[in-house]
Chain A
Amino acid sequence: MILEIVTPELTLFKGEVESVSVPGINGQFQMLDNHAPVVSLLSKGAVKIFGNVVLDKANAALFTKEDGTTNFAITGGVLEMKDNKAIVLAD
């Protein structure tokens, strides 16, 4: 699946990932390939990306790596999953 993380000021990440776990407003949940279409509000927490992730050098400092996952902290936002493409609009 393809994951995109965008903020109002720039696109932080765009690429192929195995799966992603996001802090939904009703609790953290994980999405694998071909997840059903979903729109969810996100709360404060970490977006965890599973899989081999190639980061842009300029934005690499905003992500932390931790046993196999690449994490990105958000304070809130919204997520849309559709056609095997997940987009996180982070605040």
Chain B
Amino acid sequence: MANLKEIRNRISSVSSTMQITSAMKMVSAAKLKKAQDAITAMRPYSDKLTEILQSLSSTMEGDAGSKFAEQREVNKALVVAITSNRGLAGAFNSNIIKELTRLNQEELKGVAVSYMAIGKKANDFVSKASPVQSNKSDLFDDISYDNVAVIAEELMELFVTGEFDKIVIVYNSFKNAATQIVRTEDFLPLKPVAKDEEAIQEQKELDYIFEPSKEEIIEELIPKSLKMQLYKGVRDSWASEHGARMTAMHKATDNATELRDQLKLTYNKARQAAITNEILEIVGGAEALNN
């Protein structure tokens, strides 16, 4: 028979864990709302920027020849891994780590891979085995476009100077609160844009004025769009993190509730048994006296 006091202690410890997990769930739910709003708010800018850039590059006569589009043989690659700073978010971080391992064994096999970690969890993992280019985990203290832009500029610099031949970003993209999809995106070099005859025709009809020239506008817009791509990755990861944590904490609370109910049942059974025992003893004692 389990000790009554022992069970009581377990009940109280499970209950306090439950309080913590449900509080964390509430906090994540509130933060998730904010993070989702931020994603919605950046959409008009990123959509329009992509549209302009796309329509310009697909109608260029001749090659843009941008320094960001230079395809080199890949000897050195940089992987930007975006995770969270904190754990307790289910498989959120381990999915990224799995993807990093997979990349290393498949696509980037035989390539010298360095890492840039955005998020402490990524840093903890990659710093064990591989050279870490830099650790940008403090970005999550203040995710502003300006802060992300600084990192994106650093990445562009690393590519242009030939430090790395390829840069990819790995992050959790936000689908909904319960679903995150690990995504590996090529950051640099840029993919060549296919010519679009229809768009060329349409642009001729509209008779666009370009100020200054198409080439110069593209040169100016490419860095902006790269910054936006990284910003989007960070924002998506941020929202995913809270979604993942909310789901994980919801499950934890459910499990704790179940465990507590079970323990309560055991406790009551044990209490009942103890009382029955006591009565038996008393009755037995009285019986003995009577005889």
Q: Is the CB of A26 within 8 A of B41?
A: no
Q: Is the CB of A8 within 8 A of B48?
A: no
Q: Is the CB of A24 within 8 A of B145?
A: no
Which of B45, B206, B224 neighbours the largest number of chain A CB atoms within 10 Å of its CB? B45
Among residues of A, the one whose C-beta sits closest to the C-beta of B49 is A89
Interface size on A, residues (CB 8 A): 22
Q: Is the CB of B211 within 8 A of A78?
A: no
In-complex Cβ contact of B206 among A11, A37, A41 (8 A): A37
Measured CA separation A9–B208 after assembly (Å): 28
Q: Is the CB of A89 within 8 A of B210?
A: no
In-complex Cβ contact of B45 among A7, A24, A37 (8 A): A7
| Chain B contact residues, CB within 8 Å of chain A | 38, 41-42, 44-46, 48-49, 52, 56, 144-145, 206-212, 216-217, 220-221, 224, 227-228, 231
Measured CA separation A37–B209 after assembly (Å): 6
Q: How far is the CB of B204 from chain A (nearest CB, A)?
A: 11
Q: Is the CB of B207 within 8 A of A36?
A: yes
Number of A-B residue pairs with CB-CB distance less than 8 Å in the complex they form: 71
Measured CA separation A7–B44 after assembly (Å): 9
Q: Which of A5-43 contact B (CB under 8 A)?
A: 6-11, 24-26, 36-41
Q: Is the CB of B48 within 8 A of A6?
A: yes
Can you name 11 extra interface pairs (CB under 8 A) apart from A9-B38, A25-B211? A7-B145, A8-B46, A8-B228, A9-B42, A9-B144, A26-B211, A26-B212, A78-B220, A78-B221, A80-B52, A87-B48
